[in-house]
């Protein structure tokens, strides 16, 4: 009934408004039509009695003239008659002749639009007709008609119009309700079928088409939702509130039954470096490492990575393995050794001078060299050899990480056909036109489509990948199920928004916020009450560091009151200094920071503190907890975990996050102040808003962001991939059993 009222009430209101608009128009038109009819009727009467009037006037008998008038007055609509002589004087008229009509001003009734006269006896129609004798005008005959019958008919017309609209509304409402009810029943039937897992949940085929094509988008969304709910149900027990290492272990135990899990990435989670004659362990600044390291501690697999530390070779065993974390081993790192030529061509060249700027729309031209491609192929082949050597079974689960290994999935597939290969692309995927710049685009796509599952951070990147495949390769792209069939093999393209460990490790948040604030300000020679902003990035041109500094400068220009009271600390880990673009970028950043400090330093307090050095996670979290505002201004990013780390660090529910709209994180954390990093004025205004935001609003925003991160943490990210892999393996085994049977 409520649904029907949603149709009927607006329809009734609309028809009522139309009816009230139409009735005055009908009233006015009716009056005009009858007035015109009265004029015509008056002319006919005047013509009919012309001779009689002429004779009575010629006889000079006023009584005879009135007698003619009274005979004509038997017509019930004729209200009065009168004659005005051309010589002047009082009119010869019936007793009902209105006193408002004077012989001297008959000219005013010559205009048809002025023939209606309002008197104490109602609305009258006055028509003046000339009377001639022997070719000359002897006077004017005045005919007055009663128009009260017009008002009566007008009222009847109004009622008929209202009845018409009421009837029309009732018929339309009835038809609308019937159609809506039938449609609603059909939709409910379809949705119930969806929820029961009936025909709509099966993919549409030529033999089994969907009876209601309009429900296909809902079917796809519900399939995804049901899979996620099933995954969470299997992964959790009643005692678990959030995804956790225990949940991942439950997946391995229940769904994968201890299957072999291998992770492949270029960057290793722990590096061994020699400093001052001692071997030290370092954790590189990497969002990928931040996300995957807790997962590997939970899964106890093998992480295959490039051994780039100066003491890495000294710490591995005979099989190039080392157990980590140091002091509490949970998994193994298998290190792959690359020659300087391979590292220069594969990593610095093809990956970071070619693919990185190609996928990040950051106004740096990608460079592709054939020699770099050869080294890229060779490095991917070395990692494929390592995967083959580390695999304990013919069907391991291999998690291939990022753009360094676009060719690796196909190489693994060729040597381990039964492997379940999950490739996750951590950076954005460009549109087909941008990706088409790459000279070896078909080769890269072929390599990636060796994956069983190909993951991206956002649905937008998934769509871009499907568009690219559709444009470049001869492949079947199913946009309903997000699958690509190429070479007879299907690859599922899925969205897995990456996240961080929750709750944060105790050593990261053990130090109280007040102590963090005091220590960070003290070490940087800042006043105790100084407002502090923080940025944590690799020194990379895609991170928007220049734009961030310009926003600080603009803030101090627009709001001079912040000069000497606000300082921005930028932690910028050195990155890819072997590449000219990165060296030039570092010079530019240093020069910009120096110029702003020269301009706005006050009392020895600089507005920007640039720290181009590596910081370990506890140091980074200390700065997060000490800051009033964190700025993430990436020009283009896959996800950006700094934003989530800042929120995770703030167990005091304080601090404000400023977040670029071009990060994947902005889709998950709308409570941050979302900005366009290219709009310097907007970023400066966001800084001012963040620094002046009331504590209550900070708390409300931060609690919502922390709640989301706790629920959608890195264990959920990994768990969903592993559950999808488990489901894919089960379906494959069922198909194999069916073929064997």
Q: Confidence class of residue 201 from pLDDT cuts 50, 70 and 90?
A: very low
CB atoms within 10 A of CB 721: 20
pLDDT of 243 above 60? yes
pLDDT of 297 above 90? no
Per-residue DSSP letter, 283:
-
Please say whether the beta carbons of 406 and 448 come within 8 A: yes
Q: Which residue has the higher pLDDT, 116 or 424?
A: 424
Q: What share of the chain is helix, strand, coil (3-state, %, to 5)?
A: 55, 15, 30
Cα torsion 459, 464, 469, 470: sign: positive
pLDDT of 109 above 90? no
How far is residue 244's CA from residue 295's CA, in Å, rounded to a whole number? 9
Average pLDDT score, the chain: 86
How far is residue 723's CA from residue 715's CA, in Å, rounded to a whole number? 12
Helix (H, G, I), strand (E, B) or coil at 14: helix
Radius of gyration for the chain, computed over Cα atoms and rounded to the nearest angstrom: 44
State residue 236's pLDDT score.
Answer: 47
Percentage of residues of the chain with pLDDT beyond 70: 87
Kind and range of the H or E run holding 358 = helix 356-359
Nearest to 78 by CA among 132, 148, 16: 148
How far is the first Cα of the chain from the last one, in angstroms, to the nearest whole number? 54
CATH number belonging to domain 263-495: 3.40.50.2000
How far is residue 468's CA from residue 2's CA, in Å, rounded to a whole number? 46
**Is 511-712 CATH 3.40.50.1820?**
no
Q: Confidence class of residue 187 from pLDDT cuts 50, 70 and 90?
A: low
How far is residue 706's CA from residue 645's CA, in Å, rounded to a whole number? 10
Residue 622 dihedral angles phi and psi, to the nearest 5°: -60, -40
Helix axis angle, 714-740 relative to 216-235, nearest 10°?
100
Please say whether the beta carbons of 519 and 559 come within 8 A: no
pLDDT of 550 above 70? yes
On the CB side of 712, how many CA atoms lie within 13 Å of its CA? Answer: 17
Cα torsion 402, 406, 409, 415: sign: negative
The size of the chain, in residues, is: 741
β-bridge mates for residue 658, sequence order: 631, 673
Nearest to 334 by CA among 349, 348, 319, 353: 319
CB atoms within 10 A of CB 654: 15
pLDDT of 362 above 60? yes
- Three-state DSSP string of 584-641: HHHHHHHHHHHHHHHHHCECCECCEEEECCCCCHHHHHHHHHHCCEEEECCCCCCCCC
How far is residue 527's CA from residue 114's CA, in Å, rounded to a whole number? 89
| Strands 261-264 and 397-401, bridge-based pairing | parallel
CATH ID of 33-153, from 3.30.450.20, 3.30.1370.160, 3.30.565.10, 3.60.20.10:
3.30.450.20
For 111-143, the DSSP string reads SGGG-EEEETTEEEEEEEEEEEETTEEEEEEEE
pLDDT of 240 above 60? no
pLDDT of 75 above 70? no
Side-by-side strand order, sheet with 673-675: 608-611, 566-573, 531-538, 629-632, 656-660, 673-675
Residue 299 dihedral angles phi and psi, to the nearest 5°: -95, -20
Using a 10 angstrom Cβ sphere, with 0-12 exposed, 13-18 middle and 19 or more buried, the burial of residue 665 is buried
For the ranges 70-79, 130-139, 330-339, 533-542, the lowest mean pLDDT is seen at 70-79
What is the mean pLDDT of the segment spanning 560-572?
A: 97
Return all residues near 363 (Cβ < 8 A) that are at least 6 apart. none
| Strands 608-611 and 629-632, bridge-based pairing | unpaired
What is the mean pLDDT of the segment spanning 311-328?
A: 92
How far is residue 343's CA from residue 522's CA, in Å, rounded to a whole number? 41
**Dihedral angle at the C-alpha atoms of 680, 686, 690, 691, nearest 10 degrees?**
50
Please say whether the beta carbons of 662 and 677 come within 8 A: yes
Please say whether the beta carbons of 608 and 666 come within 8 A: no
Nearest to 140 by CA among 210, 87, 218: 87
For the ranges 123-137, 417-431, 710-724, the lowest mean pLDDT is seen at 123-137
pLDDT of 491 above 90? yes
User: In angstroms, what CA-CA distances link 137 with 85, 187, 379, 698?
Assistant: 9, 83, 119, 96
State residue 239's pLDDT score.
Answer: 37
E strands present in 441-592 = 453-456, 476-478, 483-486, 489-495, 531-538, 566-573
């Amino acid at each position: 009934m409520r649904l029907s009222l949603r149709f009927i009430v607006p329809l009734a209101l609309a028809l009522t408004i139309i009816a009230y608009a139409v009735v005055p128009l009908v009233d006015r038109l009716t009056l005009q039509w009858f007035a015109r009819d009265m004029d015509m009727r008056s002319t006919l009467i005047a013509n009919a009695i012309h001779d009689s009037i002429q004779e009575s006037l010629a006889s000079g008998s006023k009584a005879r003239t009135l007698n003619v008038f009274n005979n004509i007055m038997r017509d019930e609509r004729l209200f009065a008659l009168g004659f005005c002589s051309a010589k002047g004087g009082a009119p010869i008229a019936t007793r009902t002749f209105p006193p408002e009509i004077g012989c001297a001003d008959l000219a005013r009734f010559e205009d048809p639009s002025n023939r209606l006269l309002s008197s104490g006896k109602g609305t009258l129609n006055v028509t003046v007709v000339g009377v001639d004798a022997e070719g000359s005008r002897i006077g004017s005959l005045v005919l007055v008609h009663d128009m009260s019958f017009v008002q009566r008919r007008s009222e009847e017309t109004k009622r008929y119009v209202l009845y018409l609209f009421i009837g029309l509304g009732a018929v339309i409402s009835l038809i609308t309700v019937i159609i809506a009810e039938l449609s609603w029943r059909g939709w409910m039937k379809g949705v119930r079928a969806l929820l029961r897992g009936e025909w709509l949940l099966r993919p549409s085929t030529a033999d089994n088409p969907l009876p209601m094509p309009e429900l296909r988008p809902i079917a796809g969304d519900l399939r995804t939702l049901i899979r996620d709910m099933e995954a969470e149900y299997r992964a959790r027990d009643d005692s678990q509130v959030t995804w956790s290492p225990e949940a991942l272990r439950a997946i391995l135990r229940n769904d994968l039954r201890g299957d072999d899990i291998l992770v492949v990435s270029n960057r290793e989670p722990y590096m061994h470096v020699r400093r001052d004659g001692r071997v030290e362990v370092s954790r590189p600044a990497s969002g990928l490492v931040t996300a995957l390291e807790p997962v590997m501690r939970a899964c106890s697999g093998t992480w295959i990575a490039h051994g780039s530390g100066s003491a890495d070779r000294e710490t591995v065993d005979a099989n190039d393995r080392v157990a980590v974390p140091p002091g509490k081993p949970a998994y193994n790192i298998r290190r792959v050794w690359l020659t300087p030529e391979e590292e220069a061509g594969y990593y610095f060249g093809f990956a970071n001078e070619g693919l990185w700027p190609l996928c990040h729309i950051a106004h740096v031209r990608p460079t592709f060299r054939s020699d770099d491609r050869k080294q890229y192929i060779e490095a991917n082949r070395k990692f494929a050899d390592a995967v083959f050597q580390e695999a304990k079974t013919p069907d391991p689960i291999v998690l291939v990480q990022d753009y360094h290994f676009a060719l690796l999935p196909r190489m693994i597939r060729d040597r381990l056909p039964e492997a379940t290969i999950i490739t996750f692309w951590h950076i954005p995927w460009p549109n087909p036109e941008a990706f088409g710049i790459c000279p070896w685009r078909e080769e890269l796509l072929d390599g990636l489509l060796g994956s069983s599952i190909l993951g991206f951070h956002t649905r937008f990147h998934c769509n871009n990948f499907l568009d690219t495949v559709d444009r470049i390769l001869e492949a079947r792209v199913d946009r309903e199920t997000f699958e690509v069939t190429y070479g007879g093999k299907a690859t599922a393209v899925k969205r897995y928004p990456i996240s961080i460990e929750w709750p944060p490790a105790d050593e990261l948040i053990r130090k109280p916020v007040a102590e963090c604030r005091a220590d960070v300000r003290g070490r940087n020679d800042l006043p105790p009450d100084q407002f502090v902003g923080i940025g944590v990035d690799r020194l990379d041109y895609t991170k928007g560091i220049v734009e961030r500094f310009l926003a600080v400068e603009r803030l101090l220009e627009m709001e001079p009151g912040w000069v000497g009271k606000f300082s921005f600390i930028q932690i910028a880990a050195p990155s890819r200094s072997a590449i000219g673009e990165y060296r030039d970028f570092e010079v530019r950043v240093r020069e910009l920071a120096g110029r702003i400090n020269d301009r706005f330093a006050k009392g020895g307090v600089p507005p920007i503190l640039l720290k181009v050095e590596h910081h370990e996670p506890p140091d980074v979290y200390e700065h997060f907890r000490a800051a009033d505002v964190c700025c993430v201004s990436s020009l283009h990013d896959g996800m950006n975990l700094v934003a989530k780390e800042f929120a995770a660090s703030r167990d005091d529910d304080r601090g404000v996050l400023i977040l670029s709209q071009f990060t994947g994180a902005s889709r998950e954390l709308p409570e941050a102040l979302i900005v366009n990093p290219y709009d310097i004025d907007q970023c400066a205004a966001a800084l001012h808003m963040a620094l002046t935001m009331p504590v209550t609003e900070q708390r409300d925003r931060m609690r919502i962001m922390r709640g989301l991160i706790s629920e959608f943490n890195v264990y959920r990210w990994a768990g969903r991939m592993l559950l999808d892999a488990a489901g894919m393996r089960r379906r494959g085994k069922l198909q194999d059993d069916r073929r064997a049977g």
